[in-house]
Amino acid sequence: MNAGGRALVTGAARGIGAAIATRLAADGMDVISLDLDESADVVLDVARDPFPELGDVQVCVANAGLTTTIAPAARMTPEQWQRDVDVNLTGSFRTVQACLAGMRDRGYGRIVVVSSVAALGGLPGQVAYAASKAGQLGMVRTLAGEHAADGITVNAVLPGLVATEQVLAMPAEVRERALRALPSGRLVEPAEVAAVVAFLCSPEAAQVNGQALAVDGGASLSSFTLGSSRPR
C-alpha cells in the first residue's frame, strides 16, 4: 500500500506499536522504532529527551503512551496527572513537531496519533489518561488545519480494548467483564489497529485529514434499546 519512504513509530517495542512497525515494514517502509526499551532503534523519553534529526521521515506515528495510571479523580496526585499529560499529550506533540519541518520542506507527510476511545467516552478511574487522550484529538485537528496545504495529513486512531500483553495479563474476571460490554464479543487484535494506521499512512489517504477513527469492536456504540432485549 505504501510507496516506500521512512517511517517513525514511537512506543514500538511491544503491543500496538510493534504491530504498526511490523505492518509498515511489510508495506515497504524503512521503519525507525523509538521506545524506552533498549531494543529500539532510538531510545528516549518522548516527554523529555531531545529528538535526533528526523528530516527524512515521511510518516510519523505517535503511539508512545502511558495507560497504567489508575486513581479516582479525588485521590489522583499532581504527579500522576502530570506524568500522563507529559507522556501522552506533550510526548505525542514533541514527536510530531520533530518530523514537521522535513515534511513541510518536501510537501508531503503522513502523521497518525494513536489516541483512545477514552478520549470520547471518558474512563472512570483514569481521568488523566482520558483527558490526555482527548487533548490529542484537539491537537490532531489543529495540526491538520495548519498543514493541509502542505501535503501533510494528520489523523487519529482510537483503539478500544486491544489484546496486548498488558491487557492479556489482566485478571480473568476483569477481561470477562470487559468482553461482555463489547458488541463484537472479542478483543481488538493489534494487527487490526495497525491495518487502519497503515491506510492512513499511505498515499491513498491523501484526502483523509483531521479524522478520528475508532477501532474498538463497537465499544463506542450505544447499547441502549427501547425493546425488552438487544435485537438479534
Mean pLDDT, consecutive 10-residue stretches, the chain (232 aa), reads 81 96 97 97 97 95 93 95 97 98 97 95 91 98 98 96 74 80 82 97 97 88 67 54
> Distance between CA atoms of 21 and 72, rounded to whole angstroms?
34
Look at residue 94 and tell me if it is in a domain: yes
Look at residue 207 and tell me if it is in a domain: yes
Look at residue 95 and tell me if it is in a domain: yes
Look at residue 223 and tell me if it is in a domain: no
Q: Domain tally for the chain?
A: 1
What is the reported pTM?
0.91
Q: Which residues are catalytic?
A: 129
Look at residue 130 and tell me if it is in a domain: yes
Helix (H, G, I), strand (E, B) or coil at 172: helix
> Distance between CA atoms of 112 and 153, rounded to whole angstroms?
8
> Distance between CA atoms of 138 and 184, rounded to whole angstroms?
28
Look at residue 224 and tell me if it is in a domain: no
Residue 136: predicted pLDDT: 98
Look at residue 230 and tell me if it is in a domain: no
**Which domain does 10 fall in, by range?**
6-214
What CATH number should be reported for the domain holding residue 145?
3.40.50.720
